[in-house]
Structure 1
């Protein structure tokens, strides 16, 4: 890839493309890509591939095909400058390689960076240009930015429902509404989130695996809201090969013998204070997930869980997959009319279904 030295946007877009390759593998770190350009020619590229491994700037500079003296470094996020992590800071390496200019999209909101990277670069005589493709950078790292700011996961609620807003014909009946294309999309979303969450009723009725299938990507943590600890010990989530990814969230009053059987299988159990109906407080749940470094949460059901999240305003996005059928009587999903106060971010067809994305304002 070549371009005029002044065409910063071309190379910064490339850094965003590279950064996205780390999706699903770097959490709780941010997605970062880097491009080294000298005399209008790319001499090095890199991205953060996996948590605990080399940062993008290091990857690009170490693998450059030419001496980087006088080159420009493009990266979507402010280079790190602190030592409170597994890998060395990037600013000293940038200096030692003779980089003359650094261009990036977003400040790193991490309090250990947040402008300090800029200061250290400038103190070493390196020119800095920032805020280019800022919105694209924010969208790419929305999980990370939210987590650093709020210390809880970025929450996406997904609802598959009929045109008349029903998710099933009855509360105890499993029904498949959407098509294969929508199903593939859901698995793609699972693959990019740290965790997927469902309620106890969904486990009892659907007995889902909550894994990633038919698309590339790793399995997320499987989080089950089960205040009364009703889960069947032979449920798919408790007999899977990666049962350690199953987390059961239940009441402090739950049966200790059953908890021991669940943990004996390799799953984790977290206990919380609950209300009179053994319902968990979502504020406590989300705080705990944040402590466990869950930066993104994909909420898949069922109706009671949707209601609890939406009523408490515990969400950042709502994705509705609307099948071209009507059910008449049945279990209510989310009426789109109730989301008029949200920003409708997109609307597009997925196979025979309609995907609607709503975002909560900042």
Structure 2
């Protein structure tokens, strides 16, 4: 599709404006999700969290791009938004068809290396004086080509997603009667719960202690775990000494921050304060059951620990967790069935999204 395209050179400053934003710290935010609070982070499309209405003067309009001055990331803003520090606003001069937004976002982010090479005070001038190549027709930007090009790429990816869902059996999102009942009992509060001493359910031991200075990020395929909530506590993937490897299929607690995660694969740990919890009943060490148990541990114990009063192997010996019970025993059937039902409810949205996107992109392609 690209072989027959005519390309033209355009100055960014002729197409876009870059403006400063009025910022405030997150302490000023209000509970709610009507607006995005955008910072210079590269994660989650630059959104640190959401907020309700704070004030009118700081509110930025939708249909613009945010530019975070830490990594020079451009993110298109679908909603009105507030800004943290070191965030600028990029506005297209004129009308921009929705189908071309993804194309322009890619073009803008291609300027990152250039913007990162200059001082922050020179970012505006460097950005506006940059030139980019855009598809052209009859001496003007070919927005129709952009829309069709993006639609074809999206259709290809969605088709691959649907094929994957079909092959893996995930496209079947219909809840069984047992799964419907598990959801209903949970929502209506009909489950029986009991407090169990954690060490009566799990074997607890300290994880390994491998300093970040001892490993090279990206040097291997084994997860290197830290105490972060992000990316399921995986800091990077590394290669290291086999004798320091911890067996996966367990629950992992980041000791200093009390981050509780399920770890499916073998891993390395960055701190001996981290804890490994392994079910005594080996037949119940399934992924779904342990995901359920992970949440129960987090909800039961999170209020007890903080950075200044972190969990330890010694402290956890006296802790109790609240777990579903049936006939005076742990109800592992409820755990498995409930998580399976949640998976289907989540995948249902993915399947319906894929169907909608495939139909919408096909309309654009057929224009």
Please give the range of the TM-score, normalised by the shorter of the 2 chains: under 0.3
Give the alignment's TM-score, normalised by structure 1: 0.23
Which has the larger Rg?
A: 2
Give the alignment's TM-score, normalised by structure 2: 0.23
Name the one with the larger helix percent: 2
